[in-house]
Amino acid sequence: MTSSELWTRETADRYDTEEAENSSPAALDPMLTFLSELAGEGRALEFAIGTGRVGVPLRERGVPVAGIELSEPMAAVLRRKVDEETLPVTMGDMATTVVPGAFTLVYLVYNTISNLLTQDEQVECFRNAARHLEPGGRFLIELGVPPLRSLPPGQSAVPFDVSERHLGFDTFDLVEQILVSHHFTRDGDDGRYRRGNSRHRYAWPAELDLMARIAGLQLERRVADWSGTPFTQDSTKHISVWRKPS
């Protein structure tokens, strides 16, 4: 059984609304172009496909897409957008669930590998990706760089969003490499706020590279964003691509 927290129906029903900015053409187009080029003429498999925020428009670009999803409510929202024949989804966790066939691209975006709360499960996620790839196929992850340089001495919390409708900050357990994202989100215009939190296991790029080597994959490319900006010590996230040897 995976350690990932399970997304509820309430969360699933409001997910697309809360992620509207990240689902806009301006936000998605560079990502879809990047993924389409990696998939080429083959099939793509999205781990933790969720409501299809990425998988559905990638399918609309002509890339055959399949998905794995742990949360039935999230998959139910996706199914309102596209049928099973057009975009098949297998229910299960991304570390062990097997989908029939082989793929030229397996991808995992939006920090989602951090939903696996142990190193062993993250290693198994890499192995599962390699299991699904054709020789020469690629595994892509989008993941934030842990903002530990922002931690004040002796403190364990870092704010990441302070706006009119949302206050967000992360707290860190540096021994277990666990961060908890805390959210205070304004509900409507009556002054009420909704509180939520989620746990994640953060990992450094070098740690992911070792996981890839364990799975038999080789680092091919690492950039700071979907436009291909070079990755540096000041980058706040990375998009990494590992290749399965031919």
What would the pLDDT profile of 57-80 be if each residue is shown by its tens digit?
999 999 999 999 999 999 999 999
Answer yes or no: do 88 and 168 share one domain: no
Residue with tokens 């992850």: 141
Q: Is residue 2 assigned to a domain?
A: no
Q: Is residue 19 assigned to a domain?
A: yes
Structural domains in the chain (count)? 2
CA distance 147 to 161: 13
Answer yes or no: do 103 and 91 share one domain: yes
Q: How large is the average pLDDT for residues 85-96?
A: 97
Given pLDDT bands bounded at 50, 70 and 90, which one contains residue 1?
A: low
193 touches 185 (CB < 8 A): yes
Q: Is residue 127 assigned to a domain?
A: yes
Mean pLDDT over the full length of the chain: 93
pLDDT at 190: 76
Answer yes or no: do 35 and 110 share one domain: yes
Q: Is residue 3 assigned to a domain?
A: no
Calculate ∠ Cα 190-192-197, nearest 5°.
Answer: 150
Is 85 exposed, middle or buried, given 0-12, 13-18 or 19+ CB atoms closer than 10 A? exposed
Domain enclosing residue 120, as ranges: 9-145+204-243
Answer yes or no: do 87 and 64 share one domain: yes
Answer yes or no: do 116 and 229 share one domain: yes
pLDDT at 19: 77
pLDDT at 17: 78
Answer yes or no: do 110 and 178 share one domain: no
pLDDT over 70 (residue 154): yes
CA distance 224 to 179: 21
Q: How large is the average pLDDT for residues 100-123?
A: 96
Answer yes or no: do 15 and 120 share one domain: yes
